Amino acid sequence: MSTQTGTATSYLDLLNQLRAFLTGVGSAGAPSFAGTGTGTMSGVTCYPGTKTETITVKCTSAATPGAEVWSVTGSVSGALANATTGVAYTSAEIGFTINAGATNFAVNDQFTIATTQGAMSAAGSAWTELAKNSTPYSGQPGANDTVDFETYLKAPGLSGTEAIYLNIRAFHYTSGDYYNFELRGAQGYNASNAFTAQPGISPAAYVYLWNQSTPYWFIANGQRVIVVAKVSTVYEMFYMGKFLPYGTPGQYPYPVAIGGCGYSSSDLRFSDTSYSHLAFFDPNGLLVCDSANAWQLFQNFNTGGSMAQSPYNNVWPYCYCSSDRPNWMSANLDGTYSVFPVRLEQTSPAPSVLGELDGVGFVTGNSNSSESTVNDGTNNWMVVQNVFRTAADNYCAVKMA
């Protein structure tokens, strides 16, 4: 499992950082220079192939000023293709451009760059971005919305050989002051099909964001991603990917869940306090692909705030009537906290317990708070509230390590 914690400058930056994290893109420090030339190195770019190493870029020929030739060597990768001043350089490990200055470069002038492999690549669980689309799409979620970006992702599963199709698009409506994500699961990918017409496409789930600075937590493995984003004082979060099924691959071929903080409304603002705005672990809409490859709705509450009971599919232990919810639970006598599985209980089309969300647990909110850490004796979990709700039964725990 890999994690990344940081701050995005906007909702689109949040999506771009998530894409880079999931696909295993590495990072680089600022280049350092030693020599006589006054030129610069710009546009340093890392890729899923970036390794943790030192890249040395040394001038080997200054015969043509402004078009010097440079060797490129990785301390782990070894010799790479040569670079030329003024020409954009790209390899599997790094990209950059060397720019001429007032004083020409000389032989043995040298740039040095420290690079770090992406966490998902280092873990051998990097996802693939099958396609991206930055052209606004005409089939927007709502009549007033503008679609900003679409990404089509494929997760490799825990075996590294699976194909789990998970798609995100970002959209906004300036006058409504909302900047949101639409989440979809699919059972395949067709480059000719629109976002909403992919093979075996799920209904939509939504996450309600803003266009300002956003602290975030990414938690992913080869089969699913969990994102927590702090928007003002509320916690938006989503789950996309496989869960842990109670069955073999032959019995349950595609156990995928898609959940955000909304299901029926694309146009909510993060500040909404209705029952349309509920996190996926205690939802008014979590989409689950069942053992017959049909998408089922799991719903603990309807949008009017009534508790969803039979024949609704529920998420345990948050489900059913208020007397069954674990709002009475406190910390253990020694001050520690127990973490319980979050279970998918299906009542329709047939009663069945499908499995557990991967890396999500129930923890009591009594004497607890969001962003605190609890340890179950083996793993560390981060506590997160249900959007703006802070009652004792409104918290989940997300496994961090």
Q: Are residues 53 and 193 in the same domain?
A: no
37 occurs within a structural domain: yes
With a cut of 90, say whether residue 324 has pLDDT above it: no
Q: Are residues 102 and 243 in the same domain?
A: no
Q: Are residues 160 and 253 in the same domain?
A: yes
Q: Are residues 47 and 189 in the same domain?
A: no
pTM beyond 0.75: yes
**Which letter does DSSP use for residue 386 in this model?**
B
Q: Are residues 8 and 82 in the same domain?
A: no
* Residue-wise pLDDT tens digits, 359-373: 999 999 999 999 999
Of 314, 341, 312, nearest to 399 by C-alpha is 341
Of 400, 98, 77, nearest to 226 by C-alpha is 400
| Encoded tokens for 277 | 């705005």
Q: Are residues 137 and 286 in the same domain?
A: yes
Query: Which residues, 6 or more positions from 256, have their beta carbon under 8 angstroms from its beta carbon?
Result: 164, 166, 185, 202, 241, 242, 243, 288, 289
362 and 371 Cβ atoms separated by less than 8 Å: no
Domain boundary among 317, 344, 364: 317
| Encoded tokens for 396 | 């989940």
DSSP structure string for 308-342:
P-TTSBEEETS-SSGGGS-TT----TTS----EEE
Domain boundary among 117, 147, 179: 117
Q: Are residues 55 and 95 in the same domain?
A: yes
Q: Are residues 139 and 214 in the same domain?
A: yes
Q: Which domain holds residue 42?
A: 27-117
* Residue-wise pLDDT tens digits, 66-123: 999 999 999 999 999 999 999 999 999 999 999 999 999 999 999 999 999 999 999 9
**Which letter does DSSP use for residue 212 in this model?**
S
* Residue-wise pLDDT tens digits, 133-188: 887 665 678 888 999 999 999 999 999 999 999 999 999 999 999 999 999 999 99
360 occurs within a structural domain: no
Q: Are residues 216 and 163 in the same domain?
A: yes
Q: Are residues 203 and 75 in the same domain?
A: no
27 and 3 Cβ atoms separated by less than 8 Å: no
Of 8, 22, 16, nearest to 236 by C-alpha is 8
Helix (H) or strand (E) run with residue 21 in it: helix 11-22
Longest dimension (CA), the chain: 82
Q: Are residues 68 and 52 in the same domain?
A: yes
